[in-house]
Structure 1
Amino acid sequence: MTEIGDETSEAAKYRAPALSKGLDILELLSTVADGLTQAEIAKTLGRTSSEIFRMLMVLRERGYVEIDNDRYHLTTKMFVMAHRHPPVKRLAAYAGDPMQRLADRLNQSMHLGILHRGEMLVIAQVDCPDNNLTSVRLGAHVSIYETASGRVLAAWLDRPGLAALIDAAGRDAPKRAGFEADLPAVRRQGYCVSPSQTIAGVQNLAVPIFDFTGQPVASVTIPFIQRLSGTSIFPPEYCRDALVEMCRDISRRLGADMDQILGRDPATEPRQG
């Protein structure tokens, strides 16, 4: 059994004080819009001015911070680094295996979609093991007005975000009215269940995925078909609940605080009129 003292000494062995100080500076500067002087950084972090000076010189040399009128600011280097790892790949990496496991378990195909220029873009598709299946082509673009996935993502947008989405989707008055009328109920439920608007007999089950900011970044949709035979025959309610559980787990892995997200009161947040 490992003693607490052993754990402490083990952690101490791998400490990197210089790295910690550098990260402290980056994290601090990320919280201020106007930058900070060397003295202000030192005081806030409880460090000596000479310690901070050495760290700032290294960070400047590596392009992470810049100085203007004696005030240090973050550069865009970390932003660029973050975007070298495409969000689409990250989403697919987190969602791919859970989606395939659930598709095998439920014997239903499913796809992962994101918002792109007023449409839903399918970025991942997994098939179930059955010989007969319903799937959506990878890379397909579908109008948000015709999708359950578009509804679950739009339902969580604030007023400016929803207005921008509607503008990009096109102002088809009848479709827009029906689309927006569905959003309050979708948001209260946390999912969307609706008949397919493109294939008769298919019921779409869609659930959002959230990131660490609490914003919806993708949705997973099961184009549910009622099987008449086979070893895995589940009703749509069971599939819906399993999908909700999977998407919430993926959201937590992406850093989302699901308790906070689910505790929001839609009536208190701005909506598109």
Structure 2
Amino acid sequence: MTDALEPTDLQDKYIVPGLERGLRLLGEFSRNERTLSAAELARRLQVPRSTVFRLLTTLEMMGFVERTDGGREFRLGMAVLRLGFDYLASLELTELGRPLLDRLRDEVNYPCNLVVRDGRSIVYVAKSVAPTPFASSVNVGTRLPAHATVLGRVLLEDLTLAELRDLYPEPQLEVFSESTPKTVEALFDMVQRDRQRGYVLQEGFFETSISTIAAPVRDRSAKVVAALGTTIPASRIDPERLHGMVEQVRSAAGELSRLLDYRPSEGGAVVNL
């Protein structure tokens, strides 16, 4: 019988020493010390200089550090900046979007969500739950297929047919309901109609008992970076409320886009990058 591992023992068991050293090395750079030599890094990390050279070579190959001063010193590379910018962008999106979701939820009295695309999936990054008996089956972090969901269709609007074919090389798409497009060409035609309309309203698209209204969120480059929408626990939406709810969703998405510094081109047309 073996004793259970203590939390610190478990932590030590799964630590990757090389990765730990690489991250510690990156952490030595700061605003006041933007460049450091391999010798100085070896002294600070208390590891052999040969180990530091291997770490630096790996990090340089991946763009996390770059040589300066004729190759004698190193500084942080663009890959570190990209990681930071991506983090700040995601933080900005969710932090700005959450109060808008809460306001939209209060207006429509249904759950509201903000999602982004990760390859062929959508990922829920923020949600606002309405005080109704309807319990949403999704949480922050939930992943669903982009091509088979209303919110996913919004996130595919910027892709060309060639880009969609690269994303979905298979001849037949996986079908989740009678409404799921079965080919890339059918998906492309669908999302282009969505794009022209400026929003998506679909009754029972992914699940027969659920309807969704969604609109795109764009950033300063005019690219769709998120989809904002409300989920309605009914296969059909009350026609008397329909127009108002669509406009409320579009208004919330438009306001979040403006907060992300999106400015429509002249005439209100969306820039197709």
Q: What TM-score do the two structures reach when normalised by structure 2?
A: 0.61
**Cα gap change, 1:127/1:159 in structure 2, threshold over 3 Å: closer, same or farther?**
same
> Of residues 93, 96, 99 in structure 2, which corresponds to 1:97?
99
Q: Which residue of 2 aligns with 1:18?
A: none
Number of residue-to-residue matches in the alignment:
200
Q: 1:200 aligns with which of 194, 208, 212?
A: 208
2:195 matched to which residue of 1?
A: 187
Quick check: 1:224–1:236 contact (8 Å CA) kept in 2? no
Rounded to whole Å, the distance in 1 between the matches of 2:83 and 2:185 is 39
Asked whether 1:242 is paired with 2:213, we answer no
| Candidates 216, 228, 243, aligned match of 1:220 | 228
* Cα distance between partner residues in 2 of 1:216 and 1:236: 24
Counterpart AA for 2:228 = V
Secondary structure of the residue aligned to 2:95 is helix
Q: Structure 1-normalised TM-score?
A: 0.61
Are the aligned partners of 1:135 and 1:223 in contact in 2 as well (CA < 8 Å)?
Answer: no
Equivalent residue letter for 2:81: M
- 1:17: which partner in 2? none
* Structure 1 stretches lacking a partner, 5+ long: 1-58, 228-232
Secondary structure in 2 matching 1:220: strand
Question: Which whole-Å CA distance do the structure 1 matches of 2:259 and 2:163 have between them?
Answer: 24
Q: What are structure 2's unaligned runs of at least 5 residues? A: 1-30, 36-64, 174-181
| Residue number in structure 2 paired with 1:139 | 141
Q: Match for residue 23 of structure 2? A: none
Deviation per CA, 1:69-109: give whole Å up to 9, x if none: 9xxxx9415334324x3543332111011101110121011
Is structure 2 residue 161 aligned with structure 1 residue 155? no
Identity %: 17
Q: Deviations for 1:195-242, whole angstroms, at most 9, x for unmatched residues?
A: 223332432111111112211111012122469xxxxx9712211111
| Letter of the 1:257 counterpart | R
CA 1:261 to 1:175, structure 2 compared with 1: closer, same or farther past 3 Å?
farther
Q: Which amino acid aligns with 2:141?
A: G
What do residues 2-42 of structure 1 show as CA deviations (whole Å, max 9, x unaligned)? xxxxxxxxxxxxxxxxxxxxxxxxxxxxxxxxxxxxxxxxx
Residue 109 of structure 2 contacts residue 130 of structure 2 at CA under 8 Å; is this kept in 1?
yes
Partner secondary structure for residue 91 of structure 1: helix
CA RMSD of aligned residues (A): 3.5
